[in-house]
Copies of this chain bind each other. A is one copy, B any other.
Amino acid sequence: MKTLRGTFALLAVSLASLTATQAQDPLPSWNEGKTKESIIAFVANVTKEGSSDFVPPAERIATFDNDGTLWCEQPVVELVFTEGKVKEMAAKDPSLKEKQPFKAALEHDRAYFETGGMKTVLELVVATHANTSQKDFEEEVGEFFKTAKHPKFGVPFSKTAYLPMVELLNYLRANGFQTWICSGGWMDVMRGVAQEAYGIPPQQVIGSSMKEQWMEKSGQYVLWLQPELLTICDHAGKPVNIDLHIGKRPVLAAGNVRTGGDIEMLRYCQQRKGMPTFQLMVNHDDAVREFAYGEKNHESLDAAKKNGWTVVSMKDDWKRVFAFER
């Protein structure tokens, strides 16, 4: 009996020390190596009071692209979201089957949207979602995220968040950083899922958006979506929209390789004067656990090399990609 008690006590001590070790590692889903080390060194450096590299809490702004940086972008969620709506519309007006961008959406012609880029996807959102109230749009988004599942992984889209990046967001917040999303994706779609997926509230989500008008509809004032884009938050639109929403430059920015759409945001971050900055570029090189894809012109990786940005290899740097993995 005594021995058994002793064994339990030892076991309890071992478990406690194991938990303590894990608690000490803020990024347990990252493999040990240069990438992980450089992230931790940056955070330690800028939060050390009295150091010449100290960054005051008010300046600790971190901006993250969403699609392909924080969660899986195969397929782009906005496309899945609008496909149901396009089908509905085509049932009422069959002529849409021959019109772009409806035709491409109905025929699952992903190449059409890949060639046209985020702008084409946004045009589809405008074509399917303008002339409704903002409230109805938000409710539709809520409904979508409750039921829709990722076609390959079979989990809700919120679960396709990359576990290492969620850990990075938590780690930054624990060190006084404000974490923001700055993405070409549709702002009101991301706002419907960012709190659940990443712990980021709507007011820290910057994205592409439609013009709105405050107007009377059936005796009630409502925000009404106009069939026109207000902001395109991709490429050169990222610095512009960060300035609109935040009014200061981030000291940390993260994007990914696919369209070159994050280069401008990372450059904008790096140009921050008077304090250290950090740039991350996620590279999709893991065909087994996620998807492997790159850019024909290699511009994101070239820019990373030229400017000294840290490239994240999903294959080598991430111990685990998703929380749902065994």
Name A's B-contacting residues (CB within 8 A).
58, 61, 134, 178, 187-188, 191, 195, 201-203, 205, 209, 212-215, 221, 223, 230, 236-240, 243-248, 264, 267-268, 271
Contact = CB atoms under 8 A, between A and B. Distances in A.
Nearest to A240: B212
A240 B221 contact: no
A201 B271 contact: no
A213 B236 contact: yes
A213 B240 contact: yes
Contact of A243 (B205, B223, B238, B239): B223
Contacts of A248: 202-203
A214 B268 contact: yes
Given A221-B268, A221-B271, A267-B221, A247 B213 contact: no
A247 B188 contact: yes
Contacts of A268: 214, 221
Given A58-B201, A61-B203, A209-B244, 19 more contacts: A58-B195, A134-B243, A187-B247, A203-B245, A203-B246, A203-B247, A203-B248, A212-B244, A213-B240, A214-B236, A214-B237, A214-B239, A214-B240, A214-B264, A215-B236, A221-B264, A223-B240, A223-B243, A245-B245
Contacts of A215: 236
Contacts of A237: 214
A212 B241 CA distance: 9
A191 B247 contact: yes
Q: Which of A188, A214, A238, A264 has the most CB of B within 10 A?
A: A214
A268 B224 CA distance: 13
A112 B326 CA distance: 70
Contacts of A212: 240, 243-244
Nearest to A238: B214
B246 A202 contact: yes
Contacts of A246: 202-203
21 contacts: A58-B195, A61-B203, A191-B247, A202-B247, A202-B248, A203-B245, A203-B246, A203-B247, A203-B248, A212-B240, A213-B236, A214-B236, A214-B237, A214-B238, A214-B239, A214-B264, A221-B268, A221-B271, A223-B243, A230-B244, A245-B245
